[in-house]
Amino acid sequence: MDSSLCGLSYPDAAYQRAAIERLLHAHPFLLSRTLGRSLCGRPVTLLKIGRDADERGGVLFAGAFHGIEWLTGMVLLRFVDRLCRAISENQTLAGIHAGRALEGRSLSVVPFVNPDGVEIALHGAEAGFAFRDLILRACDRDPRLWKANARGVDINHNFDAGWQQLREMEKKQGIDGPAPTQYGGSAPESEPETRLLTALCRQEDFRHVLAYHSQGEEIYWHYGENNPPNALLMGRILAVASGYTLSMPSGLASHGGFKDWFIAEFHRPGFTIEIGKGENPLPLSDFDRVYKKLEEMMMLATIM
């Protein structure tokens, strides 16, 4: 977020709570609600800007599916702040007049889909409460690279899109139970964090969604046989705006993800945005550079 609202620090539960409270205080037209709770009882919060005035529906941005990818949640919070500021001050953002662009449109943002995973990655197994011992066993007592939720389920392997095929692939890789990453769970949508997101999509009728991950500076746009005809063009626009590469995932990244499920379920565009380059977790020092490359793309994704 901008330093006027919240200084850069690791986005644990206390940071998230303070940052969202400051956003709501600074921007009274910004809407917020708790979608539900994680396994450990932490809130999964939705922020919403604008109102839909046509039949196309709004747009959804979601981040921090993986614990160590907490920088994605910070990127989303900064974009919400800057977009709200541009609207309230009658200014442009990325060269686009924000207020006029959002007329009849809405943007919903879930900055931290997996708050337990973020807390575990930042503060260790104790942050998993009742799941502490499971976490320590699954990660060989080193949770610094933890991606999963508190039960050791990778949220982005838990969506009902080729889930059974993905489980077979996981087993061949020796992943057959709770793990720091890439375990898809006992069944699709077995995890509360997954169910909160699918319920939101069924309720809100989004016209497209963007799932933010790290790292690689890539954009994934394709899944299965139900790709909408405009998805490739949209992906190319997002790629040009960000300087990222338009790609197609492979291996264990080819099924079970949120954008995979959204495309298969609704036959509408879904994109995975792999922010930044380096090794996860990307350092806080990368934040400004990463965000600057994404702002134009995020603005275009909001209004397309």
Nearest Cα neighbor of 213 from 65, 79, 77 is 65
Is residue 70 classed exposed, middle or buried when 0-12, 13-18 and 19+ CB atoms within 10 A define those classes? buried
Instruction: At 192, give phi and psi (nearest 5°).
Output: -60, -35
Question: In sequence order, which residues have a C-beta less than 8 Å from that of residue 182 and are 6 or more positions away?
Answer: 147, 154, 157, 170, 173, 175, 252
CA terminus-to-terminus distance, the chain: 24
55 is catalytic: no
Q: How many CA atoms lie within 13 A of 106 on its CB side?
A: 23
Query: What's the CA gap between 91 and 107, in Å, rounded?
Result: 18
**Active-site choice (204, 274, 295, 296):** 274
Alpha-carbon distances of 151 from 105, 107, 185, 212, 290, rounded to whole Å: 37, 30, 9, 22, 30
Nearest Cα neighbor of 266 from 219, 207, 194 is 207
**Which single residue is written with the structure tokens 């974009």?**
79
SS3 annotation, 239-273: HHHHCCEEECCCHHHCCCCHHHHHHHHHCCCEEEE
Q: Which helix (H) or strand (E) holds 96?
A: strand 96-97
Q: Residue 251 — left, alpha, or beta (φ > 0 → left; ψ -120 to 50 → alpha)?
A: left
Q: Which residues are part of the catalytic machinery?
A: 274
